[in-house]
Amino acid sequence: MRGSIFKNIWIDSVLATAFIFVVIFGLFSLINVFDAIDPVGEALEDVEFNDIVYSTLREDPPADDNIVIVNIGRLPRRMIAEQIRIINKYNPKVIGLDTFFPFPKGEAQDSALANALSEVDNLVMATKLERWNDKNVVDSLKLSAEKFRVHAEDFGFANLITAEGVSQEDVKTCRSFVPKDILYNKDSTHLFFAVKLAQYLGPKKVERFLERDNEVEYINYKGNAMGSQTNFAPTFFALDIPDVFNENFVPELIEGKIVIFGMLGEYFGDPYNIEDKYYTPLNEKYAGRGKPDMYGAVIHANIISMILDEDYVYKLEEHYQIIIAVLLCYLNVVAFMWVYYALKNWYDGITKVVQLIELLLILGAIIYSYHLYNINLELTLAMGVVAVVGDSLEVYNGVVKNMFTKEGRKELFSVNKRRKDKVEIN
């Protein structure tokens, strides 16, 4: 009965496809086990094919004049207060503080900062989601001290995603963010810091963005800020510490704009500071490990720019990824099965050439779909299937099928018997 199943090429191909997926998941499990002792894998595991788009294909984007970033470095609170007073007198649309003031630092320092914050009409302060309960609801939130936060109009959490299950303190690449999260109970949600700031310039655009209802959004990076090294020309205007105190800017740069106060190093181009600094797809060295290339405040600026331009990244849903991988595997199996029986001497050569062409086509589709249409195809599983289908099918035809057919087992045992007889004769 089992032998007759293998005589139907369509059913046989289904069984072979199932076997290949078992091989794929087995290989993925082995890769995860050996990651810790594989320095090459460690260096490349954080690379995505879409990074090639930023490094080689995209042209320098135009400057975004809706957002200005102010460097606070490691200034004491009294001097940050003076920065806020200077910027605030030029009537920004909203000021966002991408930093925390959780503890008292002396009455003079704290009073100066609190008084400066009280003068700001639209102030958004960053928070940090600290802990999730067993219902995946946030039950702990990091805030600035009450004497400062009472002056805030709004709050937004500033947690950035650097990898699945990896905190932002690790050294992974930041590609995505969570637009909103449930706070304390099912009826309360907390918006992301950049989303909250974007509401002040484009409330309707933020509303449409949130209607996408994605748990995680990919960041469509526009560029870095002045004073940073990147593959692109600077996209966002930034003021270093002396620029603010000397008022080295025109009023139009600030008036009606989103102004983010955050860490950009002790000074522009500071090569030693890595506080609140991340790897992004814009890194000059996208394969391997270079230096972190973008500060958190600039990542927030990129997110705001993406929302206001409504220039989002669209991700291929996981179930479509699986369907494409299964169909591609099945079609390859049917074609390679014919080659295996009709052109057995040519099997290795033909299958390897076809696999190489398919991998190059998939890679091109991934890169150019992101470059031209902002679609993140995520075809890793399909590429894995194509890479192993030829050799796996040989194992299936030469080992698995023979194990479940009477003729195959008989041939194997007869070989063992002939070897035993030969030994006895000698």
A 10 A CB-CB count for 383 gives 17
Distances (CA, A) of 348 to 142, 152, 354: 60, 68, 10
Q: pTM value?
A: 0.86
Average pLDDT over residues 421-426: 48
Position 198 scores a pLDDT of: 98
Closest to 308 measured CA to CA, from 185, 374, 222, 366: 222
Please state at what angle helix 77-88 crosses helix 107-118, rounded to 10 degrees. Answer: 20
In the predicted structure, residue 50 carries a pLDDT above the cut 50: yes
Q: Which residue has the higher pLDDT, 258 or 6?
A: 258
Confidence of residue 403 (pLDDT cuts 50, 70, 90): confident
Confidence of residue 419 (pLDDT cuts 50, 70, 90): low
Position 36 scores a pLDDT of: 46
In the predicted structure, residue 351 carries a pLDDT above the cut 90: yes
CA distance 165 to 190: 20
- Give the best-scoring range by mean pLDDT among 83-97, 271-285, 327-341, 403-417: 83-97
Burial code (b: 16+ CB inside 10 Å, e: under 16) for 218-249 equals bbbbbbbbbbbebbbebbbbbbbbeebeeeeb
Confidence of residue 234 (pLDDT cuts 50, 70, 90): confident
As given in the structure block, the two tokens for residue 66 are 């809706």
Position 157 scores a pLDDT of: 94
Position 417 scores a pLDDT of: 53
Average pLDDT over residues 285-309: 88
In the predicted structure, residue 308 carries a pLDDT above the cut 50: yes
In the predicted structure, residue 341 carries a pLDDT above the cut 50: yes
Q: Comparing 248-257, 295-304, 394-403, which segment has the lowest mean pLDDT?
A: 394-403
Position 171 scores a pLDDT of: 58
For 100-123, write each residue's pLDDT tens digit: 999 999 999 999 999 999 999 999
In the predicted structure, residue 3 carries a pLDDT above the cut 70: no
Position 158 scores a pLDDT of: 94
Position 38 scores a pLDDT of: 46
Confidence of residue 130 (pLDDT cuts 50, 70, 90): confident
Average model confidence (pLDDT) across the chain: 85
Closest to 67 measured CA to CA, from 165, 198, 188, 174: 198
Q: Comparing 142-146, 289-293, 334-338, 382-386, which segment has the lowest mean pLDDT?
A: 289-293
Share of the chain above pLDDT 70, in %: 81
Position 34 scores a pLDDT of: 47
Q: Which residue has the higher pLDDT, 164 or 152?
A: 152
Average pLDDT over residues 172-194: 83
In the predicted structure, residue 319 carries a pLDDT above the cut 50: yes
